[in-house]
């Protein structure tokens, strides 16, 4: 009889073995379980000392740390030159690896800014993501809604264009924005470059916090225009002042003594946490956003706050000042790391009195109220998930539900949509769209589209998480359709070797009325839930969200397709020549029908370019 494998060594004994090879360098350590899954990532000023603190059973560890040590089967180490480098590396690894025992920031995302572009006649627009485009950026704003409100009023106040450069270059007549007095019409010469530049400068001064100066100057100009009996100009200036006042009103409290800061407040209760971040820029409140980091029952506020700051600013530009509700242990180290990122000094403080303290108190109140609402919603969600598990015969309440839907018009611009929900509600950062690529699909073939979407989804899951250990696999899949769809999905699952994955088909039922949905499972008769069952309403909400997402994605794809101008695809046809062609023929369709002689007659179009344009349209069939 073969000898049985020796038991895997874990815990204090394993950690003690590593002490023999460690020195006092700064660095990052990782603790792994017996299946090499990352349990914890930490930083250390002195690796030997830090690891030594985990090697003594007599040390007073929290229950969380005791569990982590007991599961540790191996460790990995990376030394760095400085502790600051270790801090940055630690937060980077936490975001990438999402270890089980670390405080983890969820719902991390970029925040929108306002961009005034580099152009003789700059446009003003919302921008999200890396600041690669040339121009002046103002932000961040807490939400797209906050940016849109400010942009709306700025367009009323300063009448800056919001059209793309290509559209600007090809306009021959003023657009609707000019007619409703939201744009000064620079595309067709309704305003001089100097006058437009002044409006741009005023808008930038307003976004930089010099709103009072601008309003005073506008009030003086309005009075002068009124005295000169230029009543139309006076009315326009009055409207501009009114628009700017509305921006300030919407921004709420604007601090007098804080020009630029992020206010970060933390409230913890019953093993859950809420962090509220308020953005103060140019003495103006540009909104707030709440976050719910993953924490344990025995994690202290300093640890949560430090983890949040490190992960939050990993890909974001920090302000000059952070006002915190709770202090962190390595404040000097965090200041050094953030200062290096920003290229100028960053200060971190916990204010005790004055306006700064009042700002933190306000953020803390918001954090407390937001967490109370979330805990109430979570209790309801947990009850619904238990009911869903019971209705569909699942082993337990699902942690991850994926819902699929397709959208198209007679097969054109077809897209598939996947939405995700769990104990915390909709997980919008997990939503995915699938542009249907199948060349052999019959237009409108919903079965074929669903097969393509699920094939691609399952291939990705098998590639990214073959052992199902990373939490990427759904506990339940809801498919839009009845017996036919369920049969097709079952075939796909069997092909990929994941036939154990629970899924349910949701059909509209009799007369396709909401409330009469029928549910289909492989090898079982269809069934329905009671008309007033809360679980039925929950499934309807999931299905409606999937439909909303799919149809929204389809409309965006269709709009983009409709906006395409074939002239953009022709080499040598830039903005000026495209404008000449459209002015001469009236439309791209007319250009496509023009003969060679007419193309040559267009101003700025050479003989060789005319031949290229003619060949482009006529060789395409």
- Of the listed ranges 3-7, 224-228, 313-317, 470-474, the least confidently predicted one is 3-7
158 Cβ contact partners less than 8 Å away, ≥ 6 residues apart: 124, 199, 200, 202, 203, 206, 240
Tokens at 374, concatenated: 């979330």
Question: Which comes out higher in pLDDT, residue 165 or 408?
Answer: 165
CB 469 within 8 A of CB 37: yes
End-to-end CA distance of the chain: 76
CA separation for the pair 29, 27 (Å, rounded): 7
Mean pLDDT value across the chain: 85
Residue whose token pair is 């595309």: 187
Separation between Cα atoms, residue 310 and residue 90, nearest integer Å: 9
Using DSSP's 3-state secondary structure scheme, residue 136 falls into: strand
Encode pLDDT of 518-546 as tens digits: 899 988 888 988 888 899 999 999 998 99
Fold of 12-97: GIY-YIG endonuclease (3.40.1440)
CATH architecture of 401-561: 2-Layer Sandwich (3.30)
Between 152-161, 202-211, 306-315, the lowest mean confidence (pLDDT) is in 202-211
**What's the token pair of residue 51?**
């690891």
3-state class percentages of the chain: helix first, strand second, coil last, to nearest 5: 45, 20, 35
**pLDDT band of 167, cuts 50, 70, 90:** confident
Residue 208 structure tokens: 């930089």
**At the topology level of CATH, where does 261-373 sit?**
Nucleotidyltransferase; domain 5 (3.30.420)
| Over residues 542-568, mean pLDDT | 77
Least confident interval from 44-58, 336-350, 502-516: 502-516
For the chain, residues classed under CATH 1.10.150.20 are 566-619
Question: Six-digit token pair at 282?
Answer: 């140019």
Q: Give span(s): CATH 3.30.420.340, the chain.
A: 401-561
The answer to whether residue 621 scores a pLDDT higher than 50 is no
331-342 and 301-312 helices, crossing angle to 10°: 10
Separation CA 154–CA 157 (nearest Å): 5
**Two structure tokens written together for 278:** 């308020």
Q: What's the pLDDT at 255?
A: 75
- At residue 309, the pLDDT reads 95
Buried (b) or exposed (e) across 459-485, using 16+ Cβ within 10 A? eebeeeeeeeeeeebbbbbbbbbbeeb
**Cα separation, 172 vs 484, whole angstroms:** 53
Closest CA to 531 of 515, 512, 543: 515
Q: Which residues does residue 31 pair with via DSSP β-bridges, in sequence order?
A: 40, 75
Give residue 508's pLDDT. Answer: 78
Task: Please tell me what DSSP assigns to residue 512.
Answer: G
Tell me which residue of 3, 17, 5, 4 sits closest to 73, measured CA to CA: 17
Higher pLDDT: 139 or 241? It is 139
Tell me, what's the pLDDT at 207?
Answer: 82
pLDDT at site 396: 92
- Split at pLDDT 50, 70, 90, the class of 1 is very low
Mean pLDDT of 470-489: 89
Proportion of the chain above pLDDT 70, given as a percent: 89
pLDDT for 461: 93
pLDDT in tens, 113-135: 999 999 999 999 999 888 888 99
Which tens digits make up the pLDDT trace of 352-367?
999 999 999 999 999 9
Helix (H, G, I), strand (E, B) or coil at 268: strand
C-alpha distances (whole Å) from 187 to each of 81, 122, 183, 576, 588 are 55, 11, 10, 13, 20
Query: 457 pLDDT exceeds 60?
Result: yes
Alpha-carbon distances of 467 from 95, 368, 375, 463, 473, rounded to whole Å? 21, 39, 32, 10, 10
For the structural domain made of 566-619, what CATH number should be given?
A: 1.10.150.20
Q: 433-454 pLDDT, tens per residue?
A: 888 776 666 665 677 788 888 9
Taking 60 as the threshold, does the pLDDT of residue 305 lie above it?
Answer: yes
Locate CATH 3.40.1440.10 in the chain.
Answer: 12-97
**Cα–Cα separations (whole angstroms), residue 316 to 85, 177, 205, 273:** 17, 34, 24, 22
Burial class (CB in 10 A: 0-12, 13-18, 19+), 240: buried
Residue 246 tokens read as 């509305």
Residue 298: pLDDT band by 50, 70, 90 thresholds? Answer: confident
pLDDT tens track for 203-258: 888 787 666 666 677 778 778 777 777 777 777 777 767 766 665 554 445 677 88
Residue 410 has pLDDT above 60, yes or no: no
Q: Give the pLDDT band (50/70/90) at residue 5.
A: low
* Range from 68-72, 142-146, 230-234, 303-307 carrying the lowest mean pLDDT: 230-234
Q: How confident is the model over 4-12, as a mean pLDDT?
A: 71
The strands making up 113-117's β-sheet, listed across from edge to edge, are 124-127, 113-117, 135-138
Percent of the chain scoring above 90 in pLDDT: 38
CB atoms within 10 A of CB 216: 11
């Amino acid at each position: 009889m073969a000898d049985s494998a020796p038991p895997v060594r874990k815990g204090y004994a394993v950690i003690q073995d590593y002490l023999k090879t460690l020195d006092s360098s700064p660095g990052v350590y990782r603790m792994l379980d017996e299946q090499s899954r990352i349990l914890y990532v930490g930083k250390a000023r002195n690796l030997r000392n830090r690891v030594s603190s985990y090697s003594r059973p007599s040390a007073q560890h929290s229950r969380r740390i005791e569990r982590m040590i007991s599961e540790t089967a191996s460790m990995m180490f990376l030394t760095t030159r400085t502790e600051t480098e270790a801090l940055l590396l630690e937060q980077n690894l936490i975001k990438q690896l999402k270890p089980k025992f670390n405080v983890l920031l969820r719902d991390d995302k970029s925040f929108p800014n306002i961009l005034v572009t580099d152009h003789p006649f700059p446009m003003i627009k919302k921008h999200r993501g890396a600041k690669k485009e040339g121009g002046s950026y103002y932000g961040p704003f807490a939400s797209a809604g906050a940016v849109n409100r400010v942009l709306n009023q700025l367009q009323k106040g300063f009448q800056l264009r919001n059209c793309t450069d290509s559209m600007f270059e090809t306009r021959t007549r003023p657009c609707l924005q000019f007619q409703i007095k939201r744009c000064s019409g620079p595309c067709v010469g309704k305003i001089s470059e100097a006058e437009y530049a002044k409006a741009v400068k005023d808008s930038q001064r307003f976004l930089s916090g010099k709103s009072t100066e601008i309003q005073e100057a506008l009030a003086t100009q309005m009075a002068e225009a009124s005295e000169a009996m230029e009543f139309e100009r006076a009315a326009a200036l009055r409207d501009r002042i009114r628009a700017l006042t509305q921006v300030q009103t919407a921004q709420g409290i604007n601090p007098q003594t804080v020009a630029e800061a992020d206010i970060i407040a933390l409230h913890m209760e019953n093993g859950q946490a809420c962090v509220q971040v308020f953005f103060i820029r140019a003495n103006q409140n540009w909104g707030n956003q709440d976050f719910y980091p993953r924490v344990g029952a025995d994690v202290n506020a300093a640890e949560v706050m430090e983890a949040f700051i490190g992960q939050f600013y990993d890909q974001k530009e920090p302000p000059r000042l952070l006002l915190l509700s709770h202090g962190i242990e390595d404040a000097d180290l965090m200041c050094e790391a953030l200062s290096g990122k920003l290229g100028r000094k960053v200060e971190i403080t916990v204010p005790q009195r004055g306006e700064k303290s009042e700002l933190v108190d306000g953020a803390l109140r918001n954090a407390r109220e937001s967490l109370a609402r979330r805990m109430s919603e979570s209790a309801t969600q947990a009850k619904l998930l238990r009911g869903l598990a019971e209705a569909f015969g699942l082993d337990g309440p699902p942690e991850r539900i994926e819902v699929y839907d397709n959208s198209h018009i007679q097969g054109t611009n077809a897209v598939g949509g996947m939405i995700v929900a769990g104990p915390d509600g909709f997980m919008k950062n997990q939503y995915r769209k699938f542009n249907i690529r199948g060349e052999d699909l019959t237009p409108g073939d919903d079965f074929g589209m669903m097969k393509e979407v699920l094939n691609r989804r399952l291939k990705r899951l098998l590639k990214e998480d073959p052992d199902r250990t990373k939490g990427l696999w759904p506990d339940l899949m809801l498919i839009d359709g009845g017996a036919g769809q369920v049969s097709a999905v079952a075939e796909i699952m069997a092909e990929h070797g994941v036939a154990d994955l629970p899924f349910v088909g949701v059909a509209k039922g009799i007369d396709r009325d909401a409330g009469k949905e029928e549910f289909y499972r492989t090898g079982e008769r269809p069934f329905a839930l009671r008309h007033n069952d809360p679980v039925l309403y929950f499934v309807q909400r999931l299905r409606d969200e999937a439909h909303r997402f799919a149809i929204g994605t389809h409309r965006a794809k269709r709009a983009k397709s409709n906006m395409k101008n074939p002239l953009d695809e022709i080499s040598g046809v830039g903005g000026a020549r495209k404008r000449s062609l459209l002015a001469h023929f009236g439309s791209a369709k007319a250009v496509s029908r023009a003969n060679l002689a007419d193309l040559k007659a267009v101003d700025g179009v050479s003989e060789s370019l005319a031949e290229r344009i003619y060949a482009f349209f006529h060789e395409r069939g």
